[in-house]
Structure 1
Amino acid sequence: MLSLFDLSLQLNGFPMKEAKAELRKIVALSEKEHEAFLENKKVEIVNFHLQNNPFYQELVGSNATNWDNLPVLNKRNLQKPLLKRLSNGYSSKNSYINKTSGSSGDPFIFAKDKYSHALTWASNIYRFGWYGIDFNSSYQARFYGIPMDFIGNKKERFKDFLSHRFRFPIFDLSDGVLEKILKKFQKKKFDYINGYTSSIVLFAKFLQKKNILLKDICPTLKVCMVTSEMLFEEDKILLEQQFGIPIVNEYGASELDLIAFQNPNGEWQVNSETLFVEILDENNQAVPNGTSGRIVITSLFNKAHPFIRYDIGDIGILDEKSTLKKPILKKLIGRTNDIALLPSGKKSPGLTFYYVTKSIIEDDGNVKEFIIKQTKIDTFEIEYVSENELTATQIQKIEKAITIYLESGLKFSFSRKEKLERNENGKLKQFISLIKEIKE
């Protein structure tokens, strides 16, 4: 008997039964069989697009001699009308169409054929199942953005109803709103939490201040999945302390699939069933496991639109113990465009500032959240939300730490805000560079 969630997907033309059966088959393959499956799928998807997709034919030209010669795509390649990128036989009527969030600064519209999108859902269902979560029956507390226009809002609310979830819009997370969210947890029997990392961390800080363990007031809670933004180790510890449940780190991209999902052994397991993930250097050559490089992903099933060797804009490291069937993401370092260019010519990931300032200004729990903007090559603005203004001593400490981690002579200004600007989806971009030289 199909349940409401599966049924709604099936009615929208996503063949869930077939997708789930195919995924079960792939998961059951041995290491050796998986290797053969992967090679076949790579050849099959490239050949399909070379024969049926004029956009991809043009991109590849005469480079189709072997896998390593295929071009690496990025979002800018794809910022042209969708109709020019679709494969023959696919249209907006018979495909799943959506747009990326633009959190990397390069939003674009993409398509998946319906079978490929059904596999994405099958993959989600399979992974959430590791923690006893069933999309048809488990009740989700969802910390996400929501469209503000009437129709978009109602559509999303209806989807929430079908998907058995209750949404907390995250555009305003002041204490009064967090108090209301807390009351919902007292009344409703939520099974799990899912949503943007920064919003869920903010809720945990609120609980910490009130000395409340969430599991005590909502005993049905089993697990919390955070997504879309970096999860820092100290935030993970805080979430575990205040929620009293396992915290699962999820890494995905709307145009692809779930890319990596923390398994019950605490490993960040890469999806090798519907994706092929490579880590490449700047010359598009694969780097050895254990070495950092650009995360480049191939969607093995999407026939409507080519995502073949697609540079997602993130830097990461695969664990040395990874295999083709079970790759493990050792570390996600952050987006390639979150790089600060310094006066000495040094390039530093934006996260460096984040770690430095985070370690110092969060000691007393005064600062709730902050973002760092680079406005000139030697000038940075730190915007923060806090109970009290930062003291001169705290500011001195931050500046000293930045000199140690980065270089001396950098200028900083600090401005306290009521709330921070999030993008239209409600995500918080923690480091923003406003200087042109950094953009590729």
Structure 2
Amino acid sequence: MIYTALVSGVLFPLHEKLKKHSSVAVRRHMEQTQYWPLPKLQQLQQERLRALLLHAQQHVPYYRDAFARIGFDAARDFQGIPDLVRLPLLDKAVIRANIETLKADNAQNLVRYNTGGSTGAPLTFYVGRHRISHDVAAKWRATRWWNVDIGDREIVIWGSSIELSAQDRVRMVRDTLMRTELLSAFATTESGLDGHVERIRQRKPKMLFGYPTVLARIAAHAEDKGIRMDHLGIRVAFVTSECLYQPQREQIERVFGCPVANGYGGRDAGFIAHQCPAGKLHITSEDIVIEVLDPEGRQLPPGESGEIVVTHLQSGDFPFIRYRTGDVGALDSEPCSCGRTLPVLKEIHGRTTDFLINQDGTLIHSAALAYIMRDLPEVRAFKVIQETLDWTRVQIVYDGQFNERARQGIEAGFHARMGKAVKIDVELVPEILPEKSGKYRYCVTKLETPWNALTK
């Protein structure tokens, strides 16, 4: 406790000050605004949104031209979030084509970032110190909701090449001081999982952080080996960057003896939302505006599912305005029992590419297919690849003797959901490999869905 207080109160603030970040002051302010009356919080959000649009119009060549083309004047025409529908959507292709004109003409000290490309489309973009400070502060605030803080022992199991290639001497010293240890999410062989289990037992961290798939795989490995992990004093397992499924949550909580805190965000879109101990996913609404759009680009009310589009209010140096995340979810109209007034994401269904399309044109959520596999204990891992409307491949890692009866059972489950005319090829593979980022994708369609055709 004393050392944690030293790190969170002295060492980390000094670290941020040397990097010229304002994250300490921002986090302190956020710990007040999370309890503000909702109208006051909404007013703050709207003021920041107006300021971002004015800044983009005045200082960002791409938006200066885009606003002029549609006859939009931020000072005259912006009244509230509903007016955002007049503005163009931003996606990875647009950013790639306009990466220089998306930089503000008064931006300084921009940092080049990359996404991992788990969707098959890596992205390069830029971030300023102001946005970095706010993203750090938002994550820090949410961490403290779970009775842990910077300076508590932490094991991060991650797959980004940025993190895993940055282990220079300065970073190693910093991580040692902050008591953070980074392990590779790619080490999923038998020996690699053995190593992760042993290191967690030795380290006895207060918190884990990683992809839900990888943490669940480590937990399953420990359980299979009869190795107890629920007595180590782990207080919380933070998961992010993939859709969290209930069986994964149950596996992690059972083995590690701690709650799972789901986080939603990305290197590009920012720290969007985080689960509190009461169970709700709170949006960082001081810095983030979320629109949920239908396939025609119309804003949907709370409770209705559509594509999540994000505007990052602190991204003026390289604006993310109406950025298509590729994720499908819904807002919640019900407040959280924890007392925080931050708006809530009701659910995140997954990525637009996590939906397969049926022969009659309806969408099939990947969870419907995951339930087929969940009922087959011999299936250790799987991946569904929809090649055409008439052909879907199912890759499985099977524990035990795979026979014709097992194959027929899997085919029957898929036919029941996708139609009897669809050809289902079941392929036995030794393992399901992660994407280059270290993330796993259970369900991939090569077809265009209504979400992919969302109006730009």
- Does the alignment reach a TM-score above 0.5? yes
Superposed CA offset, 1:279-309 (max 9, x none): 1223332212111111111111221111112
C-alpha change, 1:333 and 1:436, in structure 2 (3 Å) is: closer
Asked whether the 8 Å contact 2:164–2:184 carries over to 1, the reply is no
For 1:143, the equivalent position in structure 2 comes to: 157
Whole-Å separation in 2 of the counterparts to 1:44 and 1:148: 32
For 1:30, the equivalent position in structure 2 comes to: 37
Whole-Å separation in 2 of the counterparts to 1:159 and 1:279: 39
Structure 1, gaps ≥5 residues long: none
Letter aligned with residue 295 of structure 2: E
C-alpha change, 1:3 and 1:388, in structure 2 (3 Å) is: farther
Which shows bigger deviation, 117-126 or 100-109?
100-109
For 1:347, the equivalent position in structure 2 comes to: 363
Superposed CA offset, 1:55-112 (max 9, x none): 1122333134342312222222112353221011115xx1232112222333212222
Whole-Å separation in 2 of the counterparts to 1:410 and 1:207: 38
Matched, 1:169 2:184: yes
For 1:16, the equivalent position in structure 2 comes to: 23
Superposition deviation, residue 202 in structure 1: 0.6
Superposition deviation, residue 172 in structure 1: 2.6
Matched, 1:408 2:420: yes
Aligned residues: 431
Task: Provide the secondary structure at the position in 1 that maps to 2:432.
Answer: coil
Which shows bigger deviation, 291-300 or 157-166?
157-166
Asked whether the 8 Å contact 1:360–1:398 carries over to 2, the reply is no
For 1:298, the equivalent position in structure 2 comes to: 311
Whole-Å separation in 1 of the counterparts to 2:402 and 2:263: 33
Letter aligned with residue 233 of structure 1: Q
C-alpha change, 1:389 and 1:99, in structure 2 (3 Å) is: farther
Task: Provide the secondary structure at the position in 2 that maps to 1:214.
Answer: coil
For the aligned residue pairs, the C-alpha RMSD in angstroms reads 2.5
Normalised by the length of structure 2, the TM-score is: 0.87
Whole-Å separation in 2 of the counterparts to 1:230 and 1:300: 25
Superposition deviation, residue 436 in structure 1: 6.5
Superposed CA offset, 1:108-155 (max 9, x none): 1222221221011111111000111111x1111111125399964437
For residue 125 of structure 1, the aligned residue among 121, 128, 140 is 140
Which shows bigger deviation, 427-436 or 300-309?
427-436
Asked whether the 8 Å contact 2:414–2:424 carries over to 1, the reply is no
Map 1:16-415 onto structure 2 (within 5 A).
Answer: 16-60=23-67, 61=69, 62-64=71-73, 65-66=77-78, 67=83, 68-80=85-97, 82-91=99-108, 94-135=109-150, 137-145=151-159, 147=161, 152-154=166-168, 157=172, 160-161=175-176, 163-216=178-231, 218=232, 220-322=233-335, 325-356=341-372, 358-361=373-376, 364=377, 366-415=378-427
For residue 417 of structure 1, the aligned residue among 429, 445, 454 is 429
C-alpha change, 1:237 and 1:332, in structure 2 (3 Å) is: same
Task: Provide the secondary structure at the position in 1 that maps to 2:33.
Answer: helix
Asked whether the 8 Å contact 2:45–2:287 carries over to 1, the reply is no
Whole-Å separation in 2 of the counterparts to 1:436 and 1:326: 35
Task: Provide the secondary structure at the position in 2 that maps to 1:248.
Answer: strand
Task: Provide the secondary structure at the position in 2 that maps to 1:317.
Answer: strand
Letter aligned with residue 370 of structure 2: Y
Structure 2, gaps ≥5 residues long: 1-5
Normalised by the length of structure 1, the TM-score is: 0.90
Letter aligned with residue 376 of structure 1: T
C-alpha change, 1:44 and 1:148, in structure 2 (3 Å) is: closer
Q: Percent identity?
A: 22
Letter aligned with residue 347 of structure 1: L
Task: Provide the secondary structure at the position in 2 that maps to 1:172.
Answer: coil
Superposition deviation, residue 163 in structure 1: 4.2
Asked whether the 8 Å contact 1:342–1:378 carries over to 2, the reply is no
